[in-house]
Structure 1
């Protein structure tokens, strides 16, 4: 069962594992780190699941995340630990936005009108007739048994070493998630799951 913010519950598909995980735990927050497989890329991407202890603690956690500098950096799991009970709901979230008007409002006007010069971007005799008609942004995050996928990124590969302490991580109520590049600390995606059945 996944407990909703209004006090009701829904039955949702969960994943579980007995493998060791990167988890940090405080009195009111647990954070799970799922590192992405690096391949040949030197950047280090990870998904973080931020689970408040209180079933209705999502908005308080969101406020801390947005107002306390260094909040993520101070709570990142650094050790792999043995898990006791581990449950994470499957979810998929997509978001799309047409951002042309936003860019124009920020002062980026020239590429959108017929006087645009895109000759250095496009090698074609027709460049004099080209201009940008729209800019769209789309992102997608999916978590399932095979790992996590973000905007057609890559799946999670996990390797672990043992620690004596076992920590439970049961994400059976609303939580935040984010995808971060760990070397420079840039957050690429941030979102929340309040009902995994409403994933789109």
Structure 2
């Protein structure tokens, strides 16, 4: 224990003598100046890293909060049955962005052994078919690999099929028609269409979300 204390004391004396020896010279060239400079640089670097991490953490928390608000708004619109527009754009002030109106399409599928509801943005094409890469993959043996496409043109929704042998039926009100291949047919709210043994109901609605997220 005594040897360790003597060793530490000797080391401290050596460092002190070294610093004082350098301090006797011109200050700008002394060892003390360079040690102080390095210490200040390290302190500045550590402070920068801490501030950077704190800023990144605040941004992650802010983004997570915006995502929750967006998801809550979309969920409320879906639960309300579609057609509902959120009336609280001020809730998105946390994001630093203005809220914008977005349109969505909800597909309600009624099949022999399943029921599901899927929600899509109308800003992208929606593919329906048997292959897994489709946006709406089907397990119906009467469906083609790529049976239909739903798309938006100038704010109007359309559905198109490229299948000549496998039919697609579209119903609007009491009118039911077999769609001709390659011709887009307009889709309206509460229209239904049938592919094989699966029937889909279309619901169009809108809600407000933070800009730049969809």
Please give the TM-score of this superposition, normalised by the length of structure 1.
0.24
The structure with the larger Rg is 2
Please give the TM-score of this superposition, normalised by the length of structure 2.
0.23
Tell me which protein shows more strand as a share of its residues: 1
Tell me which protein shows more helix as a share of its residues: 2
RCO comparison, higher one (Cα < 8 Å, 6+) = 1
